Amino acid sequence: MSFNLLVLTCLGYVILLFAVASAAERSAAEGRAGWLRSPLVYTLSLSVYCTAWTFYGAVGYAARSGLEFMTIYLGPTLVFAGWWVILRKLVRIGRENRVTSIADMISARYGKSNLLGVIVTLLCVSAGTPYIALQLQSISQSFTVFATDPTGTGLATDRNLIALWVAGGLALFTIAFGTRNLDANEQHPGVVTAIAVEAVVKLLALIAVGIFAVWFVASGPADILTRIDAQALPEWQIQPGRWTGLILLSAIAIICLPRMFQVMVVENTNDQHLATASWAFPLYLFLISLFVLPIAVVGLEVMPPGTNPDMFVLTLPLHFGQDGLALLSFLGGFSAATSMVIVASLALATMVSNHIVVPLWLKVRAAQNLDTGDMRLLVLSVRRLSITLVLGFGYVYYIVTGGSAALAAIGLIAFVGVAQILPALLGALFWRGASRTGAALGLVVGTVLWFYTLFLPSFGPDIFLSAQVMEQGLLGQSWLRPYNLFGLTTLDPLLHALFWSLALNGLSFCIGSFLSFPSPIERVQGALFVNIFDRPGPARSWTRPVAEAEDLLPMTQRILGATEGQAFFSAQAEIQGKQGFLPDITPEFLEALELKLSGSVGAATAHAMLAQSVGTAVVSVEDLMAVASETAQIMEYSAQLEAKSDELTRTARKLREANEMLQKLSVQKDAFLSQISHELRTPMTSIRAFSEILMDNDGMSLEEQNHFAQIIHDESIRLTRLLDDLLDLSVLEHGQVQLNVAPANLRDLIDKAMTASNSVQADRKFRILRSRDPEAIEVITDAGRLTQVFINIMSNARKYCDAADPQLKINVRQRKSKIEVDFIDNGSGIARDKQALIFEKFSRLTDSMQAGGAGLGLAICREIMHNLGGDISYVPGQGGAAFRVSFPRELKPRMTPEQSVTKPQIALE
């Protein structure tokens, strides 16, 4: 096949994956993602473990070492067969704590330490680099093997250039579907679904090649067994020690690989999926490895000497002229490589942003006393850049090492690297005495030994380690030779590095934990992790802080977005029984907020951001007692006492707030009566005085009579308007108003309200900012009443906005069958202690004796919106005074007064 045709085939396949991922993202956004959360899709996504190493390298591994390739599948099979031991706890902890990566898991367990997150992140990036290089190498090799070029030169034979183009394409795909938005749960249904499709493709491709080798090249299974006996090499002999080490290594890898943690823990929506995966995933591994040895044996027999056995899956069909089968095999290898690179780069980018860049950004901004800015844009930009850099590192590793004759060797280097996470991870799950100091010490020691004994030597001599160091040891000490550390010469380099790095890692971890004492928050997190299935209540790591909700709301909106942030605060206020207000900053609220933020920026970063906002996070005495206690009875009793105490506190707070409200209303009522008497007396006094003047009109000219009559007329109108307001409010409150429901255009209603409100302080410069296109909505409502509400809000803004350059912004948006209109000015807004009273009929925020109105405007607006099936609320945290008017697009038949007895609540959305 020509190179151009092969490239077009790959592009078509990638377009198909784009379509699948887009459909999955769209279904998830529309709430039709039930099938995306099925155990089948979850199990297929786990096949990201089977990379190009499996598709190409396993055959080459079998050709060189016989059945030893099976060790790579036996380890994961054992782990999933006993899924309830480690995997069930791992998934449950990950979901309840909203961890975003394996670095986030380690960081959250050990006191939410970002230092540990940084160590694990750097380790995973280092270990992932050779693995990504392996995938790029396999794709570039398959291109050059499969494609022909008439000239024999150019792109078709330049593996380095092919690898560069592949790395760029995979970066674009991962950015498109992995960093489209900042999900509070860090789940990517589009990516997972595309990986599931690729899992099917690579399985079918490998089985198809295997069937061809067994039944079309050979004469069936019996013939294959004969050929295996004939081709058996001395290297194929089973070595129990090496098998044990490799099974252990692969079992560790299935737990600690960042890409496996991503699909197994982060993307998991139900830990019961593990029950299905416990047999379905080993079955998948069995099927994908079933024909590996037959393909290797047939390839060794029929292919020319010197042919790379890693490419037998591709070259064997080509050798027999089966171009269609070869193309299917090529797409299978392409799927195996791309799925790994996509998930690995996504997981590593999340770790880099959450544990390195964002904490550094926060520290710099805090040192400069600057605001954090738009965190959502920062996090997404960092992740996109990190994906590009991770793939770039893999490409550089591939170029520097020049590729390897054995793909399996590169993969095993990565396995040993991520295995250094195991001691700290097992300690996090099962040992409450494990400490941050021990975890950090073990990780550093293990990583240094892995670097020195395996990773740096993989580049070849005289690149990072000189040939002299490799032969004579560091500083000329023979016991420091990378491949013969401490004089151990009986193990091959891989098992040698695995033994020393894991042994000294675990020893350092235990010693560090025994010699140090966990901090209070570490002990709380330890109890939370170890007792995840039987703890009576959530662990607490916050005392009563000194903070205001107004300070935390903008920070939350910058990370979660304005709508989701306000929705979270509204839900928490409702839980506290404070509908319409901002929630109290309690330890329970901070725990919930920290958990919510953790899904977007990681546990350590979320904890650090809240600690900067509310003060140092410490653990209360009650929590320390609960942690120190080893009996569930004491812990449960403590939790019950705390719950009762919280309930009494909430009840006392509600009573206190109700008493304060009654006192304020009493004061407002007295002011209202005084004001009403003043407002009524003033026009009536004028009417009486000028009427008496007219009655005694001796010598009065006609012009003077008209002047006095006009004054009487104006004062009568003023008196009538005041009485109308009182009567209108009474009618609205008792549900006796007759509504004139008819179709209307929302934009026309806002235009009328603007024109009517221009008469208020017409000499004052006042700007109104609006977008007319979103306002073009046809509604069915009482247009006159709705316009009355708009006029009142605009008039108040013109009168009370205290900005030097006053302006009012009008935003219209439609949410399904409801319409929301926001009026936001740029003034100083309404004080928090006055926000609860602005809709009361006894309330005026200005001088109560000042002429110009009785303070009934917003109370009438509230009743109008109630009769229109909607609501009017004050929205805090917007910079100025902000009112939200919400109403149905089509007003339904109104209820009877008996049905409509509940007063509207002021809602914060």
pLDDT at 749 over 50: yes
| 876 to 427, 557, 811, 836, 856: CA distances (angstroms) | 45, 13, 16, 11, 22
Q: Which residue has the higher pLDDT, 765 or 634?
A: 765
Q: What is the pLDDT of residues 123-135, one digit of tens each?
A: 999 888 888 888 8
Q: What SS3 state is found at 148?
A: strand
pLDDT at 822 over 90: yes
pLDDT at 907 over 50: no
Q: Which residue has the higher pLDDT, 617 or 17?
A: 17
Q: What pLDDT is stored for residue 770 in this prediction?
A: 92
CB 87 within 8 A of CB 264: yes
pLDDT at 894 over 60: no
What pTM was computed for the model? 0.62
Please give the Cα distance from 897 to 733 (Å, whole number): 10
Q: What pLDDT is stored for residue 290 in this prediction?
A: 93
pLDDT at 62 over 70: yes
Q: What pLDDT is stored for residue 620 in this prediction?
A: 42
For 431-561, where are the alpha helices, taking DSSP H only?
436-450, 467-472, 493-515, 520-530, 549-560
Beta bridge pairs of residue 815: 818
Q: What pLDDT is stored for residue 637 in this prediction?
A: 53
Q: Which residue has the higher pLDDT, 473 or 514?
A: 514
pLDDT at 435 over 80: yes
Please give the Cα distance from 786 to 763 (Å, whole number): 26
Q: Mean of the pLDDT values across residues 796-823?
A: 90
Q: What is the pLDDT of residues 647-660, one digit of tens each?
A: 777 787 878 877 77
Q: Mean of the pLDDT values across residues 88-92?
A: 90
| 556 to 79, 642, 883: CA distances (angstroms) | 39, 27, 21
pLDDT at 561 over 70: no
pLDDT at 677 over 70: no
Q: What is the pLDDT of residues 209-235, one digit of tens each?
A: 999 999 999 999 999 999 888 877 767
Question: What is the four-CA torsion angle of 110, 350, 336, 190, rounded to 10 degrees?
Answer: 120
Q: Mean of the pLDDT values across residues 415-425?
A: 94
Q: What pLDDT is stored for residue 600 in this prediction?
A: 61
Q: Mean of the pLDDT values across residues 605-611?
A: 65
Q: What is the pLDDT of residues 502-546, one digit of tens each?
A: 999 999 999 999 998 887 778 878 888 888 876 544 444 555 555
Question: What is the four-CA torsion angle of 61, 63, 67, 71, rounded to 10 degrees?
Answer: 0
Q: pLDDT above 70 covers what percent of the chain?
A: 79
pLDDT at 454 over 80: yes
CB 604 within 8 A of CB 107: yes
For 844, the token pair is 């005026």
Asked which of 62-66, 678-682, 684-688, 777-781 is least confident by mean pLDDT, the reply is 678-682
pLDDT at 769 over 50: yes
Please give the Cα distance from 447 to 466 (Å, whole number): 20
Q: Which residue has the higher pLDDT, 84 or 557?
A: 84
CB 785 within 8 A of CB 744: no
Q: Mean of the pLDDT values across residues 313-319?
A: 90
pLDDT at 201 over 60: yes
| 498 to 114, 446, 593, 900: CA distances (angstroms) | 27, 9, 41, 73
Q: What is the pLDDT of residues 260-295, one digit of tens each?
A: 998 899 888 787 889 999 999 999 999 999 999 999
Please give the Cα distance from 44 to 27 (Å, whole number): 19
- Average pLDDT taken over every residue of the chain: 79
Instruction: Annotate 686-705 with b (16+ C-beta within 10 A) or e (fewer).
Output: bbeebeeeeeeeeeeeeeee
Entry field: residues in the chain: 909
Q: What pLDDT is stored for residue 498 in this prediction?
A: 93
Please give the Cα distance from 153 to 155 (Å, whole number): 7
pLDDT at 899 over 50: no
Q: Mean of the pLDDT values across residues 539-558?
A: 63
